[in-house]
Structure formats: structure tokens, C-alpha cells
Structure 1
Amino acid sequence: MKKYTLIFLLLFTFGINAQNISGQAYYESKTTVDMDAFGGGREMSEEMKKTVATMMKSALEKTYVLTFNKDESIYKEQEKLDASPINPGFKMMMSSYTPGAQYKNLKTGQIVEENEFFGKQFLVTDSIQTLDWQTTNESKQIGQYIAFKATAIKKVDPNDYSMARPKRDRKDENEKENAEVKKDTTKPEDPMDMIEIPKEIEVTAWFTPQIPISNGPGEFAGLPGLILELNFYRTTLLCSKIVMNPKDSEKIEPPTKGKKVTRDEYTTIVKEKTDELRENFRGRGGNDRRGGGFGG
């Protein structure tokens, strides 16, 4: 990571004692969805486009709170009433990559998440992903803080549907097979057939040395200052409010509810159940409301 005199000058000027620092940062997530790009505007009906757009918006646009100190943090979604008409199977797949309480320990490099998937609680443990951040002198004002720009390339889990994008048009597709599919009007449209997961994405972060903790929303960390804004693919996480050294704040400790699994184990569970759900969806004409379940 590059080092810049300006950053260290800011740290010296503001003179914050990171040893005793604590606070709460509120983040708003916004995601844009280009529905015209789905299926090249051919396979997906206007009604299906509207349905998928509603599901994506409800699944990805949320408010989060990061409660932090020098070495630890707990990141949670603020609860809200959601009356959107969402296919339960799609909602479960999306929520599998929108964790519950998410704890990070910067000293040990560990991250612990509470996830609920198909009615079962999981406690997922993993190492904090280390990104090769490239910092710059580019800066901007976010609220009352000066933030500097940094970028990195992040690998994406192949089952992370929160990173879904429209499939590219492929000229090498078997035209005969496509024609047969189009003729079968009884076959339900599976929204998952119209999206793909990128292998990697570019992440842009804006961090402030005025709050000298190496933390940020979700799984992100590793910069010389709190991350105030994150941009990746079509999603932006923007800090809307910061309360420093609050008198009353949530206790920072790892979550404990759920079956303990590693990240790889949880990814396998999600993939198996997602594949099962899609088969049920196709077999029941797109009207499967149960979504399967876990045995035992």
C-alpha cells in the first residue's frame, strides 16, 4: 500500500487517541438494477423484469449500523417492515449472503457471522479477507470528514447472489435449443437462469484518517482510517451518520447463535439448497412456496 505524507499529516493534526476510540457509524445501501440488460431484452417479459427489480431492491437496499472500537466491531442491519411481494425462494437465496450480526476482530483477523438460511441458524467463522488496497491522494468531503480514495480487486463467491448481474448475450448458443425452450410456454421463467455471478469485482473505498481505525462496513477493513463509503458493481454503501464515543452503545462481542460452520462449509450448504430450490421451482411451475428444508 502506498504511503502519503498528507495522510500522516492529517493523523498528526487531528491527534485522535485511537487506543480509546469508539463509535457507531450508520450506512445506507443503494443498488441500481439495469433491467433492460437482462436477457438482452428478449427472454424476460416486462412483468418478470418488474418482479426481479422489486426483489433486488428489497434484498439489497438496507440500513446498517457499525458499532466499533479500536480492535473490534459488530455490524447489523436495522430492522424494517418489508411488505414487498417477494418469491420466498429468491428471498432466501439473497438473504443467505446478507448476514445477520457480523463481528470482526482486527487483532485476530477473525470474522463471525450469524446467518439464518431455510429456517436454520448458522454461525459462520472465517478470516477477514485481505485486499490489496491501492490508496491515492484523491479526496472528498463526506459529512464533516475528509475521505481519501482507495481501490482493490475482490474475488466473488460463485454462489453470492447479491452480486448477480444479467447474463451476457452469447452468439455461440445453440439456436435450436433456444427455439425449443421458447416453444415450451408451460415452462416457468426461472429468474436465476437470467443472471450470472462475476468472478471478481473492483471495489472503491473512501476512508477517513480522522477516525484512525482500520475498519469498515461488512467484511471490509484494512485501510488507515474508517471506511465511510464503498462502491462495488452497482452498489454503494454510504455513511450517513457517525456518533463518536457514545455513552450508551451495544456491547461488542461475537454472536453465538447457530450451528458452527466454516465459510466453505456454509457455501456448500447454500449451493446444495439453492440447486434443490430451483429444481422444485421448475417442477412446480414456479409456484413452490415451501422452499424445502433441512432434515433432522
Structure 2
Amino acid sequence: MAQIIKIQDCISRYEQDPYHYMNQYIRLKKQRWQLLTEMAREKEERLFHNGGTASEDTDSPKKKKFSLKRKKETSDINNGIEADDQWFNGLEEDVDERLFARIPADRKELASFFKEHLYQFQLKWASSTISDISSLSREIKNDKILQILAQQLPDSYFIMYHPVLQVNQAAVELSIMILTPLEIYCISFLEGDKESAFIGSKDRFWKEKTVRGREKAVLNPSTELLRTGSILSRLLKGSEIELPVRKLIISRTSYIDYPEPPYGIEIYDRRQWHEWLARQQKNFAPIKNQELKAAKILLSYGVSESTRREEWLD
């Protein structure tokens, strides 16, 4: 699963110490996956021995072995320290029967359960720190594109989802940026009606033609992409970072008819989307120093709107 390091103008833990959190994420993910696989194995054993019922005495030794050491939140806040396990609030307490009941015994289903569980905590990590918190809009919480990118791309990919950056004393919202070990993607997604067709042009607006013959006007995505690419190059200028910047227009659901797109812009519609995603999933390159450096520089320009947590107001 990719790491969400910035969402719009939300405060992010990565902004505080990107190197620490990027490495911590991978370590915690491995720990929690091991924990869940043990719990699934225990549940499978219960179902076998209890004739399809997973209930068991909550004080049994088997249950206690899943208990995690819980650091008191009050103590951490008073000391200004964030416990590693606080990212996984739902798993840091003793495992109760309600959580145990939700965990699928089937290994195939367990992976999906884990990804969803992990994604929800990624949203928290990308919108809060130990002292401050930002409000995620309903649109972001239900955003399928963000969820797909986070759950389908490798751990070594860093997602900046429409980040708001401070550029020349102005706050500017950019396209989706994905930092990888080998390159940086600037992406504009076109989400249209199923099997509709986007007709590309150099005009300010494109047309979307639906299968029922209706037409809609949509903003030309090339404009935002070219601006994002230009700003990205400017912010990284002089940093000795040599990651190629690629600009993509992607539609998962629709066709894109644009025979001659502007130079440097690649098109992937519903016919090529899965191929592009599959190529990214086969990228097993580890996190690179240049990628970390680029992320740190870009995050340093991040604009954050947040409020103080209640426990810090006294």
C-alpha cells in the first residue's frame, strides 16, 4: 500500500518528520499484518473446534496472547511523544470479541480486510498530528481514486493528493502527485459515465459524450497538469534531484479521444488503465534517497489548515 503523505491543505505527520514516518509506516504495517494473521489462524481453530462458533471465554490464555502493550495516551501527550501503536488505535487495545468477530478466517478475505483497516488509519495519519487535527471532507473520505491508489500501489510510492502548496506567496492546489523511487507522476483523473468518451482538444473545455448521446463540458485537464509540472520543476530546481516528471491523464471508466495531446502528456483510458496500474505494482524498487529528498522539499511548501486538539488547549 502506498503512503498518503499530503491531502489538500490537511496537516500531515509527514510534514513534521518525513523520514521517520515513511520508515515507521513500513515497519508498523508488517507488525500489524503478522498480528492479524495470528488472529485469523486462532479464529480458524476456534471455528474448527467449536463446530462453527468462534465464541470463547474472553479471559482465555489464547485471547490474552493477542493483547498489545498499551501506552497511556495521557502520558504520551504530556511528554510530547507519540507512541508508535497510536496509529493503530483499533488494534492497540486488548482484542475483544467484537473485533475478533470481524476478522475473516479466510486468508484471501483477510488481505482485503487489512487493506481497508490500514487505509482508514492512513487517512488519520494524513490529517492529524499528536497536537493538531484537520477535518477531512466527506468527498475525501469517500474518494475512490485516493483509495484505489493507496491500496493498489507499492509501499515505496508517496501520494500527494491535490496538495495545496505555498508558491510565490500564494496557496495553489495542484494535480495529484505520486512520488516513486524512479520518477514523479503528475496525474489528472477523468471520472465520467461508464463507457462514455472524452473528446480532447486544446480548448479550455473538453466534451464528454455519454452512451445515451448526451454531451457535457469538462475543464481541459491538460491545463492543470502543465501548471503542476511547471511548479514542481520550479520547487525542485537546484536540489540536484534527477527524477523524471511524467504528466498523465487517466480515465478508469471512459474512453479518451485525443490523437495529438500536448507534448509530454500521456493518455491512459479504460483500455490502458489496468495495464498502467499493473506495471506500477511490479515496481519492486525500494525507497530511494532522491525520492525522500523530493518529498521533504515539497512537504516544506505545504499549506495546512488545522485546529488544536482539545487536550492541548489548556
Normalised to the residue count of structure 1, the TM-score between the two structures is: 0.23
Find the structure with the greater CA-based Rg.
2
Q: Name the one with the larger helix percent.
A: 2
Q: Name the one with the larger strand percent.
A: 1
Normalised to the residue count of structure 2, the TM-score between the two structures is: 0.22
